[in-house]
Amino acid sequence: MDVEEFREFGKAAIDLIADYMENIRARDVLPSVEPGYLVNSLPPEAPEEPEQWKDVLHDFTHFILPGITHWHSPRFHAFYPTGTSFASLVGSILSNGLGVIGFSWMSSPACTELEVVTMNWLGKLLGLPEQFLNCSTGPGGGVIQGSASEATLVGLLAAKDRTVRRIKQTNPDLDEGFIKAKLIAYSSDQSNSSVEKAGLLGSMKMRLLKTDADGKLRGDTLKKAFEEDQEQGLIPCYCVATLGTTGTCAFDPLYEIGPLCNEYNVWLHVDAAYAGAAFTCPEYRHLMNGVEYVDSFDVNAHKWMLVNFDCSCMWVKNGYDLIKTFDVQRIYLDDLENSNKIPDYRHWQLPLGRKFRALKLWTVLRIYGTEGIRSHIRNQIGLAKYFAQLMQPDDRFVIEPEPAMGLVCFRLTEGDKVTKKLLDNLTEKKKVFMVAGSYHNRYMIRFVICSRNTKKEDVDYSWNKIKEEVDCLCPVNIHTKKYKVPVMKNIDAVKSNEKSK
Ligand SMILES: Cc1ncc(COP(=O)(O)O)c(C=O)c1O
């Protein structure tokens, strides 16, 4: 392919994606394909002869697109959002166009320096304390990881190394392996699966502690666990607090957990993968009270901040903790002269190679501006509230717990079986996509405002699809008036009339 063909291919691909986004409402959210549909449609061998780009785009449209789950459909309400925006897409093209690897300053100075700049911008936008920023006078700083899962593992490995170093200072004869075998990590039973996985990958026992009635990990529970484990001869090492749990978007109280972790020399990592983006709006920052006690803090810009995957933004209070953990020298990587002046990011992450991810963060922050990001977050929270208001008056539904950020969890008063049937039926029809969750051992459905394309009319559409289905499953009985004439009530009050499971 020569440069002229590249121009044509690239422009055609951009047109295709622009058309796709513009007409996304015409598609079902879920694809109508069976496992193996693509494997059995494409040739078993790569083509021997070069092919034309038009044929490739043709096959993209005819074979790939039919097998896509449309995450950016305004009726996609499952999981949590994954970010995209035209600004981010252009940033990705620029990054891929340059095709650099930025493991050290020398390997591509702008790659490192733009990451320093954008992580400072974003850290300030989130209201993080100064000591987490590269521009502070201390050893703190930000780095872009591939995923929140990676950030949690990076924190765990750094915590392990820091704890071993601390214990060896007072007990130099103790064997490193002996110390490592005694280390223990903590999180809540509501934390993301990636937290438990970090324990598996980092060979550290992970206790998932019971949360309170609101799904939060409380200080007294954590303290009890530290004490129990110390009595057993174990060494508390790492704790992951979640700001915005995956199930119900609960916020662990950092002001309780933080001082305890500091007292027990436990590294505190914050997983704010989804909800952290809300801290761009000052009115939500009280939810991270106590952040000054934290060692590392992670927000996925690739979830709720309009940046395409992958862009997980992690800040640490002390970059040397990462450098000491991950520093492996080779003569061909030597950039010692510069690494005293600017982060050598290969020591802040798991892989050696690293993409120029900061470019897409930079294009988003510039094209939207901080006001644009805030208004995106506020708009999405407003749409979730609107959905809750539509559902609230209908006493066939229970909204529980209190909606948080862009998430509304609900179930049917008819019981778990019918709630599950509702989700199954809706999924089968493919017009609206949500996933299940559980709250206080009850089956519930999670409705999340995900797509940046979602408007009020789309929420009306999704609500009507849900209601139509419920009208079939639990028809309104006008004689008993079980389904009353809609009146607005507080969400808390909509808990009457429930059948047991
Ligand atoms: C709270 C939380 N943490 C971590 C993750 C995992 O994120 P990633 O896919 O970036 O590893 C998720 C995913 O939804 C999440 O909700």
pLDDT tens digits, one per residue of 266-315: 999 999 999 999 999 999 999 999 999 999 999 999 999 999 999 999 99
**Beta strands 407-412 and 435-439, pairing class:** unpaired
pLDDT for 482 beyond 60: no
| pLDDT given for residue 327 in this prediction | 85
Amino acid making up residue 370:
T
149 CA distance to ligand 1 middle (Å): 7
Extended beta strands in 223-330, E state: 235-242, 267-271, 296-300, 312-316
Q: Which of 274, 287, 302, 446 best tests ligand 1's pocket when mutated (most atoms within 8 Å of CB)?
A: 274
3-state secondary structure of 147: coil
Q: How confident is the model at residue 488 (pLDDT cuts 50, 70, 90)?
A: very low
Give the residue whose CA is nearest to atom 9 of ligand 1. 147
Tell me the percentage of the chain whose pLDDT exceeds 90.
88
Angle between helices 86-98 and 358-391 (to 10 degrees): 150
3-state secondary structure 75-123: CECCCCCCCCCHHHHHHHHHHHHHCCCCCCCCCCHHHHHHHHHHHHHHH
3-state secondary structure of 479: coil
Q: Which atom of ligand 1 is least distant from the CA of 151? A: 11
Q: Which of 190, 192, 217 best tests ligand 1's pocket when mutated (most atoms within 8 Å of CB)?
A: 192
From the number of C-beta atoms within 10 Å of its C-beta (0-12, 13-18, 19+), residue 144 rates as buried
88 CA distance to ligand 1 middle (Å): 20
pLDDT for 492 beyond 90: no
| pLDDT given for residue 331 in this prediction | 81
Average pLDDT over residues 9-23: 97
Whether 253 and 290 have beta carbons less than 8 Å apart is answered as: yes
Q: Is 344 left (phi over 0), alpha (psi -120 to 50) or beta?
A: beta
Catalytic center residues: 192
* Chain centroid offset of residue 340 CA: 32
Token readout for 67 is 């097998």
What is the C-alpha to C-alpha distance for residues 397 and 364, in angstroms, rounded to an integer? 38
Token readout for 194 is 């990636």
Q: Which atom of ligand 1 is least distant from the CA of 146? A: 10
Token readout for 13 is 């691909």
148 CA distance to ligand 1 middle (Å): 5
- 399 C-beta neighbours (distance < 10 Å), count: 21
pLDDT for 495 beyond 90: no
Q: What is the mean pLDDT of the chain?
A: 93
pLDDT tens digits, residue range 325-349? 988 888 888 776 777 788 889 899 9
Beta-bridged to residue 144, according to DSSP, are 313
Extended beta strands in 225-289, E state: 235-242, 267-271
Q: Which atom of ligand 1 is least distant from the CA of 147? A: 10
Whether 116 and 199 have beta carbons less than 8 Å apart is answered as: no
Using CB distances shorter than 6 Å, the residues near ligand 1 are 79-80, 147-149, 192, 194, 242, 244-246, 271, 273-274, 300, 312
Q: Which of 271, 307, 446 best tests ligand 1's pocket when mutated (most atoms within 8 Å of CB)?
A: 271
Nearest to 273 by CA among 249, 247, 303: 303
Token readout for 424 is 């199954």
- 88 C-beta neighbours (distance < 10 Å), count: 26
401 CA distance to ligand 1 middle (Å): 20
- 79 C-beta neighbours (distance < 10 Å), count: 16
248 CA distance to ligand 1 middle (Å): 13
Q: How confident is the model at residue 120 (pLDDT cuts 50, 70, 90)?
A: very high
**Domains in the chain: ranges and CATH:** 3-68 (1.20.1340.10), 381-493 (3.90.1150.10)
| pLDDT given for residue 312 in this prediction | 98
168 CA distance to ligand 1 middle (Å): 34
Q: Which atom of ligand 1 is least distant from the CA of 274? A: 16
pLDDT tens digits, residue range 201-258? 999 999 999 999 999 999 999 999 999 999 999 999 999 999 999 999 999 999 999 9
Cα separation of the two ends of the chain: 62
| pLDDT given for residue 359 in this prediction | 98
